[in-house]
Structure 1
Amino acid sequence: MPFFDELFPEHISRDASGGPRFFTSKAYAAAGQRITNREAAYPLHEWTIAQPVRSREDFEELRAFFYVVGGDADAFRFQDPSDFEGDRGNTSLTLIEGNVYQLNRTYAFGSRVFVRPIFKPVPGVVVWRNRAGAWTQASAVVDVATGRAAISDHAGGDTYAWSGEFHVPVAFKDPAAVWRFLGGPEMFTEWSGIELEEVRL
């Protein structure tokens, strides 16, 4: 899927509702036991923007955005208003190969930790190294197109975290837009119920 490396208008997405959807299957045994299976390691996020745009300028911006991405053809960046920042307390990095690591956002509760790869960080992300209990800024080059960081001067026992903002790669869920025309002293157009879904690139 082609990727348009621009952010969906933030002032429009503030009223979004949604979150992660896990892919699971479940069945029930004869005695009533519930049996579940995770079909995928990671959920995909979905959002609905129910609040109509409030001005002609907002509508023109949204309409232009829909046209340039070809409806549901191309993916783009979206900032989840509830979850777009990482810090040393809720992030990690996973070794991919050599000196290349994947940025992650982590979610901890009790004895469990869920690790979510972050593929679209925002420029300005800082990678931190913990060596012998002391945090220092690491020398790293972060690819904002993939969420991978090339880290220099690794030593055995080093662990890493990062701080900064991140986006989610999404696409419009529907290839068609539904606009509503409002009468009155000045003709006005609105588009509510916009659905976005996370994509894996």
Structure 2
Amino acid sequence: MSFHEVRFPADLSFGALGGPERRTDVVQLTSGHEERNSPWAHSRRRFDAGLGLRKLDDIETILAFFEARRGQLYGFRWKDWSDYRSCKPSGTVSAGDQVIAYGDGVSRSFQLVKNYRSGGTSYQRPIKKPVAGTVKAAVQDVEMLEGVHFAVDVTTGLLTFESAPMVGAEVSAGYEFDVPVRFDADRINVSVASFNAGQAPDVPVVEVRV
């Protein structure tokens, strides 16, 4: 797909409004009961980048970024300030943050994931855009060294070890990550008069599957 490995200016995504969405089909039965089904295996995030603009210079920056992406044509990286680490927002990334797989003695490559748990239910989110230089990994709680014991593809989130972890070995990782998104419109309406009066333009972005 058409994707630029460049991050939307993080200082402008700070303050943006947005979060995850899901699609659920609800069928009302004649009995009054419901049947619910979701065609999406994974949630999708939406944001409004316009709410992060604070100065007129910010408008110039976002217009240049929009034009370079050709509107909706090319995807890009987005920092979701509410959820961009493998650990809690107040924590520090460590190699044991997320269990991503268990070794089978053969496989050397594993997809980075983040696990969301509540009660007895969990959801595993694939992480496709880790931030370079932030990824840590461990096997059976023994931390490995990037470039020595493992390599990470920051465009796909694929972690590859030099040697396959032994059968049953817990493979864990910690990282910072971006969300792959695109602009959700081919037009940005900007009024300098409105901006000076405190009204930010609408600049919608939406997560894309990569």
TM-score range, shorter chain: 0.7 to 0.9
| DSSP-derived class of the 1:107 partner | strand
| Letter aligned with residue 112 of structure 1 | T
1:126-145 equivalence runs, <5 A: 126-130=136-140, 135-138=141-144, 139-145=149-155
Matched, 1:164 2:184: no
Does the 8 A contact of 2:96 with 2:174 survive in 1? no
Does the 8 A contact of 1:141 with 1:149 survive in 2? yes
With structure 1 as the length reference, what TM-score do the two structures score?
A: 0.88
Does the 8 A contact of 2:182 with 2:205 survive in 1? yes
In structure 2, distance between residues paired with 1:52 and 1:149: 33
1:126-167 deviation digits (Å, cap 9, x = unpaired): 11212xxxx111321110000001123311111112112000
Does the 8 A contact of 1:84 with 1:166 survive in 2? yes
Matched, 1:148 2:154: no
| DSSP-derived class of the 1:30 partner | coil
| Letter aligned with residue 63 of structure 2 | R
| DSSP-derived class of the 1:80 partner | coil
| Letter aligned with residue 91 of structure 1 | Q
Greater fraction of residues in strand: 1
Partner of residue 91, structure 2:
none
| DSSP-derived class of the 1:166 partner | coil
| Letter aligned with residue 117 of structure 1 | P
In structure 1, distance between residues paired with 2:70 and 2:101: 34
Alpha-carbon distance change, 52 to 10 in structure 1, aligned in 2, over 3 angstroms: closer
In structure 2, distance between residues paired with 1:18 and 1:91: 24
Deviates more, 1:165-174 or 1:121-130: 121-130
1:18-45 deviation digits (Å, cap 9, x = unpaired): 1111122110111111110110110111
Partner of residue 189, structure 2:
178
How far apart are 1:49 and its partner, in Å? 3.1
| DSSP-derived class of the 2:36 partner | strand
* Structure 2 unaligned residues grouped into runs of 5+: 88-94
Alpha-carbon distance change, 71 to 159 in structure 1, aligned in 2, over 3 angstroms: same
In structure 1, distance between residues paired with 2:162 and 2:50: 45
How far apart are 1:16 and its partner, in Å? 1.1
How far apart are 1:80 and its partner, in Å? 0.5
1:141-200 deviation digits (Å, cap 9, x = unpaired): 1100000011233111111121120000000000111111229xxx99x85221110001
How far apart are 1:10 and its partner, in Å? 1.0
Alignment coverage as a number of residue pairs: 193
With structure 2 as the length reference, what TM-score do the two structures score?
A: 0.84
In structure 2, distance between residues paired with 1:191 and 1:61: 14
In structure 2, distance between residues paired with 1:137 and 1:52: 38
Q: Percent identity?
A: 28
1:65-121 deviation digits (Å, cap 9, x = unpaired): 0000001110000010100001456523247x8311000011111111110000000
Of 105, 110, 117, which residue of structure 1 is paired with 2:126? 117
In structure 2, distance between residues paired with 1:102 and 1:70: 30
In structure 2, distance between residues paired with 1:15 and 1:122: 20
* Structure 1 unaligned residues grouped into runs of 5+: none
| DSSP-derived class of the 1:85 partner | coil
